[in-house]
Structure 1
């Protein structure tokens, strides 16, 4: 997982400004712990540990799940990434058609194909688009202004502009996006198996732990009261396999996706009804959630 040292990644960088959070990471490096065990090991209250865990979870460093214990339900915590690299000097963004590749941002409402089921809907930065829980409005022309969309099951599919030329073929493809589950209103404990596909090939299925709404998203408009933010996830397909946040998720390699000049590039995000955890999808654009970005695609050659 590569993190640019910029203000837009402050929620990740701030995780390491606290000795308590670093000690939590040290403990979770050994094995998963529940909140009570962490509190006992660090000599702090469960309430304080819970706040630190929430910050680590929002940054994507820690994941949690509710399990049944001797004294009822317990929140089990584990590390979500194995390695995190701070990038201090970033290369200038490549322009379309350059020999080393290109990067593009896709607005969340710019999908070309969809099949969604309620609960579902769209919102711009200043209003809801159409009626709630009515899939017909996913065809509304105003969808192009959407900064937030959600659905309980189904998919949305995007066409990635292809600026490769001549005999160029991609050596890697990465997609960065803010995403979470979708529950009615919100539910921080709402697992969802979300599948990412490139050119009709399922490359990875990631289980999101919840639909986050217990506190306001940094960029979420004041008028919005439901789901507030997601987790920033980076999907990468290289010649070594497919990774999410640096963790290997499948053996699908870039050459299997036919990413070359003249070929259509399709990216699908789905939550199938047949999934073990069919918990839906919520997507966030640059004016919603905790990260000021749309769906960012980077292709290198």
Structure 2
């Protein structure tokens, strides 16, 4: 996450001048929590916590989702970024307009995977687990969770989104993911590589395959061990490629060969030939700690 150091972002910086807001951030770093849980932990009324939560959400520091609770819907809050980069060089890093859409986990257009692997909807498994042939099952479009030990899945970004290619300021891709291990293993690093149009943007090393506690949205019936991932934000702009504000490479928008004639291709890969060949698990709506699919935002000048 990159923030311009300007008065226009005063609301963002004010979040760090409040002890209560900082304590809320500290709590949410450990795990997602609802309003009542935060209020109990800090011994403050839910009304006051709600006010702080609204400010943090407006600043982009947390995300909130409505989830079924014991007494109706509850607001579950999660940290939205692991790192913030302060930009002193630009007076305005915010684009004047943008387009955001979500790619369902099962809507991949191409794949090559090896076991362990599988697909699951929010209701059940799709096909046979550990049989790559079922990645061609027509029901794959219902998948909200997929995993593979090595190989890749590739998604298509619709060509009509790139009619103003010369005006694109950045492409932001947000998704929840982790390593892949049979059952789960919280310390199991994996180098997950990111490509757009066959251009390697870089890789992020996932620390493990997490199952030490139940994922906020993971269905109760799902008992393979993996419960949640980490929310990562991949950004490509005119200065390079970043993940959560940390530079991955010098690959810029101009090197991606973007055009409006063909769909653009996003690939997530776990190659065997890497320092940590630990596979990939991708979480969509109905799984993990963030109720979203692969969220893509194209920012324009």
> Which residue of 75, 80, 83 corresponds with 1:81?
83
CA distance in 1, matches of 2:213, 2:284: 18
Would the aligned equivalents of 2:2 and 2:84 in 1 still touch at CA under 8 Å?
no
Would the aligned equivalents of 1:117 and 1:152 in 2 still touch at CA under 8 Å?
yes
Quote the residue 1:220 is aligned against. Answer: 218
Q: Secondary structure at the match of 2:173?
A: strand
- Partner deviation per Cα, 1:49-69 (whole Å, 9 max, x = no partner): xxxxxxxxx9587xxxxxxxx
Gaps of 5+ in 1: 6-13, 23-57, 62-79, 86-90
Would the aligned equivalents of 1:101 and 1:164 in 2 still touch at CA under 8 Å?
no
Quote the residue 1:186 is aligned against. Answer: 184
Quote the residue 2:289 is aligned against. Answer: 290
Aligned length: 229
> Which residue of 199, 202, 213 corresponds with 1:201?
199
Q: Secondary structure at the match of 1:128?
A: coil
> Which residue of 2, 14, 17 corresponds with 2:23?
17
The yes-or-no answer on 1:276 pairing with 2:275 is yes
Structure 1 residues 203-212 or 158-167, which shifts more? Answer: 158-167
Q: Secondary structure at the match of 2:185?
A: coil
CA distance in 2, matches of 1:278, 1:108: 22
CA distance in 2, matches of 1:248, 1:20: 25
- Partner deviation per Cα, 1:25-71 (whole Å, 9 max, x = no partner): xxxxxxxxxxxxxxxxxxxxxxxxxxxxxxxxx9587xxxxxxxxxx
Quote the residue 1:264 is aligned against. Answer: 263
CA distance in 2, matches of 1:128, 1:178: 19
Would the aligned equivalents of 1:229 and 1:290 in 2 still touch at CA under 8 Å?
yes
Q: 1:166 to 1:285 in 2, by over 3 A?
A: closer
Quote the residue 2:249 is aligned against. Answer: 250
Would the aligned equivalents of 2:172 and 2:233 in 1 still touch at CA under 8 Å?
yes
Q: 1:275, CA displacement in angstroms?
A: 1.1
Gaps of 5+ in 2: 4-10, 12-19, 29-77, 88-93
Q: 1:171, CA displacement in angstroms?
A: 2.3
Quote the residue 2:115 is aligned against. Answer: 118
Quote the residue 2:209 is aligned against. Answer: 211
Q: 1:162, CA displacement in angstroms?
A: 2.5
The RMSD of aligned alpha carbons is 2.9
Q: 1:21, CA displacement in angstroms?
A: 7.1
Q: 1:215 to 1:172 in 2, by over 3 A?
A: same
Quote the residue 1:237 is aligned against. Answer: 236
Structure 1 residues 251-260 or 282-291, which shifts more? Answer: 251-260
CA distance in 2, matches of 1:298, 1:167: 14
